[in-house]
Structure formats: C-alpha cells, structure tokens
Chains A and B, each alone.
Chain A
C-alpha cells in the first residue's frame, strides 16, 4: 500500500521560503507513470492545486503561484519537495501531497493517494 507523509517546519516567517518534503513508502517514486502533486487548503476554505511533477521531472504549476513555486524530486530518498518563496499570511494552510493516477493523458488524472496533510503557519 502506497503511503505519503508530509514533513517540514510548521511555522515560517513572512517573506521567507516554505519548504516541505513528501516521503513516499510502499512504492518507488521513480517507477510507473505517475504525477506527484501538492495541494493546499486554508483553514475553513476549499482546495487549491499548487503544482505537480512527473516521473520524468517535468512540472506544471498553478499560474497564480508559478513565480514562487518549485517542485522537485529526490529519487534516491523516495521523496519530492515543495519550495514556496516570499510567503505571506495568505500562504497559511494545510499542505497535502498526493500521487496522481492518469488515464490516457496528463489531463485525465485523479489524486488517488494522499498524505495526511501538514499545517504550515506564516508568522509576521
């Protein structure tokens, strides 16, 4: 059974960089044809897709965050990471990592396995 677990600082200062890691167990991050995604959810609000990385290393980002986001894979550690620069209070949210399964094309996917989520607060 594939499992994902987010980790990183739970508190980040405004204007600094938020860095989170998602550790994958129960399967290799390099095998298969999967996308690895980050999604976030401010308290009491809806889901916001941040971006994803494919097994090959290609990425897609939410245009509203693109200038500040980098997603990367560290295959040797079976992890993928999220870096979000110049954070503000608006970036305070629960951050989820997920493995996406795709059928036929890169736009017919769904997030099948999710991490439990990690709350990251931005302090002023």
Chain B
C-alpha cells in the first residue's frame, strides 16, 4: 500500500493527451513539492518533472506538472511511443520524515 495513490494504468493513442493523477495527504503533497519519474523496463527511473512543474533540461515541453491541495498531476501532450512505461510520483512526507512514492502508473501508447 503506497502512501501516494496513482491509477495503475493509463493509455492513449499517438498525438493524444493523457493525464496521470497522484493523490496524497496534508503531510506530503499538501505541504511539499512533487516529482515525477518515468521508468522503462529494466532501466533506472528518470525525472521528468520536479518541484511540481519544473522540467529538467532535455525533457520535452510536452510534459507538464501541476499540484492542487493534496493532489498532483502529470500531463503528457502529443503522445509518442517512447512515452510508454511506468510513471511514479514522489514527495517528502513530513509525518514519516522520508520520501514516499506512488504505486506507479503504466502508460500504454496504443
């Protein structure tokens, strides 16, 4: 049982937009920033959004993040096949005093 809650799966066709949600509480998302990671099978995760809505260098502007209250979202526009994989949200939890992850969302590009 993950501290942050994500839908297990999401899908879209090439060119479409998709949004992945991440629900937390006042001890994590409600007071701290959220990061999003993308992981392909057999590889290490890669950050695609940090501090709620910041894109690291090299991440396309098709990726955007937002946060409201105790929930956060990752939006991907203009879906491409390389966007497939698992997406994880993460944030610091003040009650646990540690980083917590969502359970992950498997994105399929149909």
Contact A112 B56 (CB under 8 A): yes
> Which residues on the A side are within 8 Å of B45 (C-beta)?
47, 96, 111, 114
With the chains together, A116 CA to B94 CA distance in Å? Answer: 29
| Minimum Cβ distance to chain A for residue B72 (Å) | 13
- A5-21: CB near B (< 8 Å → 1, else 0) gives 00000000000000000
Q: Is A26 an interface residue (CB 8 A)?
A: no
Known interface pairs A46-B2, A107-B92. Does A112 touch B47 (Cβ–Cβ under 8 Å)?
A: yes
Contact A46 B32 (CB under 8 A): no
Q: Is B44 an interface residue (CB 8 A)?
A: yes
Q: Is A60 an interface residue (CB 8 A)?
A: yes
Which of A96, A110, A116 is close to B47, meaning CB atoms less than 8 Å apart? A110
- A75-86: CB near B (< 8 Å → 1, else 0) gives 000000000000
Contact B101 A47 (CB under 8 A): yes
Q: Is B88 an interface residue (CB 8 A)?
A: yes
- Measured as residues with beta carbon below 8 angstroms from the partner, the interface class of chain A is 20 to 34
Contact B51 A108 (CB under 8 A): yes
Contact B51 A103 (CB under 8 A): yes
Q: Which of A65-124 contact B (CB under 8 A)?
A: 96, 98, 103, 107-112, 114-117
Contact B32 A108 (CB under 8 A): yes
- B78-110: CB near A (< 8 Å → 1, else 0) gives 000000000010101010111111111000000
Q: Which of B27-76 contact A (CB under 8 A)?
A: 32-33, 35, 37, 43-47, 50-51, 56
Contact B43 A63 (CB under 8 A): no
Contact B44 A114 (CB under 8 A): yes
Contact A63 B44 (CB under 8 A): no
Beyond contacts A96-B44, A114-B45: 8 other A-B pairs, Cβ-Cβ < 8 A, are A47-B90, A47-B101, A60-B97, A60-B98, A109-B92, A110-B51, A110-B90, A114-B46
Interface residues of B (CB under 8 A from A): 2, 32-33, 35, 37, 43-47, 50-51, 56, 88, 90, 92, 94, 96-104
Q: Top 10 A-B pairs ranked by shortest CB distance?
A: A114-B44, A107-B92, A110-B50, A49-B99, A110-B35, A46-B104, A47-B101, A46-B103, A62-B98, A110-B47
